[in-house]
Amino acid sequence: MRNNALLPAATLLLFSSCASYHLRKGEQDMSLLAYSQAEQHFDKALKQGEDRRTLLLAGQAELKQEKVEEASVHYAAAEKLAPLEGDDAYAYGRLLMAQGKYTEAEPMFVRALQDRPEKSDIAELIGACQGYRSFYTDSLRYQVRPVPMQGISRAYSPVAYGDRLLFTGQKEATMSKQDPWSGQSFADLYLVTMDAQGNPGTPEPIKGTVNGPFHEGPAALADSGRTLYFTRSNYYGRKLIKDQKNISNLKLFRATLGEDGAWGNITEFAYNGESFSLGQPAVSKDGKTLFFTSDMPGGHGGKDLWYSRNLGTGWEPPVNMGPSINTIGDEMFPTVVGDALYFSSTGHNNMGGLDIFETHLEGEYWSEPQNMGYPVNSTRDDFGLWLDSTGTHGYFSSSRTGTDLIHELIIPTPEFTVSGTISNAQDGKPVPFALVTLQNLADLMNVQDTADANGNFSFKLDPNRVYNILVQSDSMLARSTMVSTVGLGISSDIRADIMLDPLELEKPIVVPNIYYDYDKWDIRPDAAVELNKLARTFMDNPHLVFELSSHTDCRGSDLYNLVLSDARAKSAVDYLLRQGVPHEQLIARGYGESMLVNGCHDGVECTEEEHQQNRRTEIKVVNAGVRK
């Protein structure tokens, strides 16, 4: 009976001892970077009873293996026991972002920022959570479809040449070839032929001596596909070489293609190191600039983008691409297409995981990186973009389905049109058969067409161009407007309705919103806006002569008002001349109080609004031919 009573206590002791054993073994595996084995031990420990420390360790091990859902479960359980702080709150926030849970991720980053105010990327992540909808605004710009590779469990970093695709792949793990970090197989470089419909055949490892017992890839091709730059684990024989932190770093190598189609003649990049990783190469079109990823000393955060030039005497020392590209996070997987650089980053304006960004070389500097948005990017890791020389077709990798897969990317050239209706500004009726001139401001080439009987017109436009549309019709004042396709990524029809004023000689038209300070005639900023519109009208009608007149109310002497109005009219005309209006088109007239539009003359009591009606600027056409 006594022995039976002791059984529960003995059982608890056994469970506690078992949990402690697995916790200790898991921590040992973590120190050896064997995260897959560590995860198994932590799971066994948690089966004996949950505690916050083991939950967080399990989440960390799963996070290292990119197991988003599993890690989230353990971080969420730890959060229930006590609020997460610092790095734990940051990690859980990233996991929530990776699942598209932006509203839940934001308070985690706020907490992390309170504990780590020096981490500038946290503030950017808070902003991304608040403005995540902006990532989806251009979603119709791209067409994306997965391209699964037969017999390959993970495929990434594709490079196309001809009808073939070179990529980094991992098969299902076996006990003889398993990475203790992830529990998955080591990566090799594969080649697959794509059919006319873009479907892959059966992938085969590349021929030659590039693939070895550990990781190979990603890679880049140069010299018309006869030179291969590739990433490889640091090993000797069949043994990984590890640094003081127990990390087996990556190195960059070069191989050439033999006549038999096999890769060989392997040489090591001169600036590899034993204590840092260097890899994920990209090569400029002329082969003289090599871009790569490295965590070598001198960077801005975790992994940075670097480059090295070869001017004929070998590769020069690497140069960091600087803070406009590199952040406190990771910048990886560069690709070069013309003057554009594409890369993946956990920093910048990020929607979760690694996002693909685009930047352009402008002179000696790179433009601000732009997030390519959905559907190129997702809440998971998106990386390893390759684009053809036209920039309209390519491939990239994404873990959005839970594992790394290659996706095909099509960027259709957007089609733009501008259409509008020309109408009479007085009665709103259509103006038929007006002459419409479309001018491309990039090359000043003109295209002309005639509006139809209902005043409708339409033109096709080129991408990234600014145009001027000039409309002319008999007995009407010509008018122009500007349209632009700069920055537009989606096919669209731009609307440009235009209203024409009837051309009537000597009929004054009041120009609104041109005001002057008391007793002054200099042009105020608000008046300049209206005068700029007038300048456009005058230059649209170069055969007409316009009188610009200024009028005052009755207050003040007749002479004073005449002098003041004349100064204001001349000031306005001088401004128009500076905007490019020919002086032959303009006449300045000051009429003082001689042409009141109401009964507010001397001796009559009027409201301020009635006086304002008399303080006005007018234009009128005084000649249908430019004066000489």
Instruction: Tell me the pLDDT tens digit for each residue of 118-139.
Output: 677 888 899 999 998 889 987 8
Burial of 297 (0-12, 13-18, 19+ CB in 10 A): exposed
pLDDT of residue 517: 77
Q: Which helix (H) or strand (E) holds 155?
A: strand 154-161
Centre a 10 Å sphere on the Cβ of residue 35 and count the other Cβ atoms it contains: 23
pLDDT tens digit string along 47-56? 888 889 999 9
| Regions in the chain scoring below 70 on pLDDT | 1-17, 118, 173-178, 181, 624-628
Q: Per residue in 586-616, pLDDT tens?
A: 999 999 999 999 989 998 999 988 988 898 8
First-to-last alpha carbon distance for the chain, in angstroms, is 126
Q: How far apart are CA 76 and CA 454, in angstroms?
A: 65
Both tokens of 519, joined, read: 């007793």
Residue 454: helix, strand or coil by DSSP?
coil
Q: Which amino acid is at 169?
A: G
Bridge partners (DSSP) of residue 335 are: 342
The amino acid at residue 603 is: G
- Output the pTM of the full model: 0.73
List the domains of the chain with CATH numbers: 2-136 (1.25.40.10), 139-410 (2.120.10.30), 416-500 (2.60.40.1120), 509-623 (3.30.1330.60)
How far is residue 590's CA from residue 75's CA, in Å, rounded to a whole number? 78
Quote the pLDDT of residue 301. Answer: 83
pLDDT, position 90: 92
Strands 616-623 and 545-551: antiparallel
Please check whether residue 305 is in contact with residue 336, taking contact to mean a CB–CB distance below 8 angstroms: no
Closest-CA residue to 472 (of 545, 540, 418): 540
Cβ of 281: how many Cβ atoms within 10 Å? 23
pLDDT value at residue 2: 40
Hey, how many other C-beta atoms are within 10 angstroms of the C-beta on 349? 20
- Write out the two tokens for 320: 């960091």
Q: How many CB atoms lie within 10 A of CB 452?
A: 15
Say if CB 157 and CB 383 are below 8 A apart: yes
Spell out where 473-542 has E strands: 479-484, 492-495, 498-500, 509-511
Structure-derived torsion over alpha carbons of residues 256, 259, 264, 268, reported in degrees to the nearest 10: -20
Q: Is 100 left (phi over 0), alpha (psi -120 to 50) or beta?
A: left
How far apart are the C-alpha atoms of 339 and 389, rounded to whole Å? 11
CB 170 within 8 A of CB 153: yes
Please give the pLDDT value at position 375: 96
Share of the chain above pLDDT 70, in %: 95
92 SS3 class: helix
CB 386 within 8 A of CB 408: no
Give the separation between CA 469 and CA 436, rounded to whole angstroms: 7
